A and B are shown apart, each in its own frame.
Chain A
């Protein structure tokens, strides 16, 4: 007997997620190659240092477009409400997997919503500073050096976010990643992690 699955993400949402995800990983690896001499060999995957220097900003442009589409697609669901603030107050129960003590989350929990806003902010920093570094001939040395600092600071945030995001979406919460593959989740998964959203779904 098979239970009907819940549809969590549309095709457009999934393709946008993976454009941002894949470009970000490629950008992170080639970016770390520029930041750390001991990782310079990572540029090999893009065809060497000079090719990486050309491709990194072009891939970055695609990433930027993806971030904008993502923002437009998801912003409606990302405003925090009173229940989200309760959720944040109980975040240690969420971390400890004490799901009975976690206030029920909607389609996105407060952590995911904050993730969205911080990630959007990082996206702006990445793209703005990246544009300066892409076309250095049009900017002053001081601005370029500032852009390098900001671009790396955003990398720190984005890199740590990636680790948390992949960990939570795969090994910590099995069943989550499927929402980004064929777009579906099981009712049990939804009841456990997003009770208010699963309630919506079941009622209709």
Chain B
């Protein structure tokens, strides 16, 4: 069944502060679930992402890793990161799908000054609308996961859009569709949470006592969640332990902006009152 895309939040608008209620409440809220323990690092998802979203191919070089690109780019929205982490005498080979997590409380959207450049849908997808992007890159510093990438040619920012055109038509995102081991699953968020519980339980039975679900509360939860075998060592997966959608500096900025508009008004009114009280001081040209 195709889902209509109803909007939840729009950047630089009142709905950035107070999310809109869905006209048809109870619509599906989706989530990806990435089981890091099941990924074999085939990078099929990377290819599917490039193909479906028609993203430019970039020349890659071997830098001593199975990793294809060094970093995400405006044309590489999904990157399998390969990291070798020493674990006592053992070596832990971590393969992590790096892409937008589609936060429930999106720091990028809160930081964005351009009306309509970032839109969050009721179904959980956070999408950039490059037509409205002004290229300031505030979303880059607003994102706790370092995901958006600036395109120097188009002077706009890009990231994973959760294959919104597929989701709109009732399909799963391309990376999910192509994954041969079901390491990436797709469904209603509640179902995915239940699925994650089972996966974590199974990992614990297999001896991964710190296995955990990554669905951080600091950003209101995410619509791409990870099942991590070593939940006590999130830094190994380059996942921030306490990501936040509103860092202290931006909270301070919002506070200043709110009192600032009153202060400017106060300044103008004070000048008016002063003028009415004492008037101009005119030099006596005959004195």
Contact = CB atoms under 8 A, between A and B. Distances in A.
A192 B281 contact: yes
Contacts of B283: 174-175, 186, 188-189, 191-193
B192 to A, nearest CB: 28
Interface residues of B, number: 46
A53 B136 contact: yes
Interface in B224-281: 247, 249-250, 252-253, 256-257, 260-261, 263-264, 267-268, 271, 274-275, 278-281
Contacts of A153: 256
Interface residues of A, number: 47
A37 B261 contact: no
A3 B267 CA distance: 37
B137 interface: yes
B108 to A, nearest CB: 11
Chain B CB within 10 Å, residue with most, of A133, A141, A152: A141
A173 B283 CA distance: 8
A25 interface: no
A43 to B, nearest CB: 8
A152 B256 contact: yes
Query: When A and B form their complex, which 5 residue pairs have the shortest distance between CB atoms, in order from nearest?
Result: A144-B141, A145-B249, A49-B134, A188-B283, A37-B12
24 contacts: A3-B285, A34-B113, A35-B257, A37-B113, A40-B12, A40-B115, A49-B114, A50-B135, A52-B134, A95-B278, A97-B279, A99-B281, A136-B141, A136-B150, A141-B146, A144-B137, A148-B250, A153-B256, A160-B264, A164-B267, A164-B271, A172-B275, A175-B282, A192-B283
Interface of B: 12-14, 16, 113-115, 132-138, 140-143, 146, 150, 155, 247, 249-250, 252-253, 256-257, 260-261, 263-264, 267-268, 271, 274-275, 278-285, 287
Given A145-B247, A173-B280, 19 more contacts: A36-B261, A37-B115, A40-B114, A40-B115, A49-B132, A50-B155, A53-B136, A99-B281, A136-B136, A141-B142, A142-B141, A145-B141, A148-B250, A152-B260, A155-B260, A164-B271, A174-B283, A188-B287, A192-B283
